[in-house]
Amino acid sequence: MREIPGPPDGGDAIGAAGGLHTYQLRLHERYGPVVRFQLPGGLTAVSVADPVLLEATAAVDERPDQLFEFLAPLCEAGNLQTLPAAEHRPLRRALLSALAGRRSHEAHFDGFTALAVDLADRWASRAADGPVELQQDLSELSLRMICQYALGGGIEDPARVVSAFETVLTGYLGRQYERGEDLSRAERALAYLREVVDGVLARGDSDLVAALVKEGLGPVRVRDTVLMIMLAAHHTTGVAVSWTLHLLAGHPGPAARVAAELDDVLGDQVAPAYADLRRLRYLDMALKESMRLYPPGPYGARETTEDLTLGDHHVPAGTTIFYPFWAVHLNPRYWPDPRAFIPERFTAAEQARRPRYAFIPFGLGPRGCEGAALAMVEAELVLAVLLKRFRFEPVAGHRVVPVERFVLWAENDIRLRLTERPDRVTPGK
């Protein structure tokens, strides 16, 4: 381990860098693809930013308890993020059965479309009042979608729920970095979130709840699981759409190409049908390039259960391995001009040239995101509805800075001006 390059131990380097997401970028820029560093509390970890070397870690199915300790208060029946592999596997099967089915995605698609069109209508009515702030509204929309899809119903105040999740994460993640946060607001917000989930569960069954009960989960663990799914699903999809609109607003060429494709595929339709998503190839490329530049979850972690070899380095069992998704996605060896927004990186030919794990916005291996396919359906639908109707432009002087809030959030939100598109490209042209 001592032969692995890295910075001197000690100090508050992570906090000074603004969080793990930016700290890891700096580490890999300075020390290379395999780096040793120290986490708060003194735990030594190894971060791997090379997709070929990640192959050796892909089968690891344990997570380090200490790293995800800040999420422990959300889980009264044990931290679902760090369940041992033997407990995690049946839970993963249950989640996949409820979240990954193409047939169920199609069955809920009309409901998703109605929610997306409703947001577009509300934005149109507010356009004259000035720029829209994306993250809150899009996170609320994603929350409504996951509640409709997986929980069998809606929630009364999605804005308050989104704000409560942010309060919880800010409080407990701040404690992880030893900032001395007052947790009283976070505790009240968490109590409110549990009340909301209990209310959703009391109103009726859903495919997700049925799958969890079938696996033998008790009521508290069902609630814990639902709470974590609500957290992960609304945050990740909402910010992915937000970052994509931000990038397209700043890149008129790709934005025009997306608009032309939407007009060609949809004609006069305000929204795509489920089958249309497969034809929106450039929109798919733009979304993926956005998730490369701003992965919703900026990192993941595992704990090795046996010795590993990473290039020239020996890593003993029991080591915390970091997956710095952001650093992997900006590795110049696999992504020339890595900070440029170039959707064409995701043509089939370009993707075939890169290693399997060069692009990992949903993680990898047995702890990868169970809702990845659902998230892509939701994100592409919402983008299609909004970009078919509006043209987005940046707000002069508004600085967009990525910060870590469990996901890669934008500090002070993402503000864009929108105007309804007055013209339509003739289908087929």
User: In this predicted model, which residue has the larger pLDDT, 206 or 45?
Assistant: 45
Q: Could you read off the pLDDT of 39-98 as tens digits, one per residue? A: 877 788 999 999 999 999 999 988 887 777 777 788 888 767 778 888 888 888 888 888
Could you give the percent of the chain with pLDDT greater than 90? 55
Lowest mean per-residue pLDDT among 76-85, 109-118, 121-130, 157-166: 76-85
In this prediction, residues 355-367 reach a mean pLDDT of: 93
Q: How far apart are CA 349 and CA 199, in angstroms?
A: 48
Task: Name the burial class of residue 285, with classes exposed (0-12), middle (13-18) and buried (19+) by CB atoms within 10 angstroms of its CB.
Answer: buried
- For residues 202 and 353, what is the distance between their CA atoms, to the nearest angstrom? 50
Q: What is the pTM of this model?
A: 0.92
What span, in angstroms and rounded, lies between the C-alpha atoms of 388 and 348? 25
The predicted pLDDT at position 428 comes to: 38
Q: How many Å apart are CA 23 and CA 20, to the nearest integer?
A: 5
Segment 376-404 mean pLDDT? 95
Apex 415 CA angle, 412 and 418, nearest 5: 170
The answer on pLDDT for 182 being more than 80 is no
| Closest CA relative to residue 84, chosen from 358, 273, 367 | 367
User: What is the structure's pLDDT at 180?
Assistant: 52
Mean pLDDT, all residues of the chain: 89
Residue 305 has pLDDT above 50, yes or no: yes
So what's the pLDDT on residue 33?
A: 94
Confidence of residue 429 (pLDDT cuts 50, 70, 90): very low
pLDDT tier, 188 (very low <50, low <70, confident <90, very high otherwise):
very high
| 172 has pLDDT over 80 | no
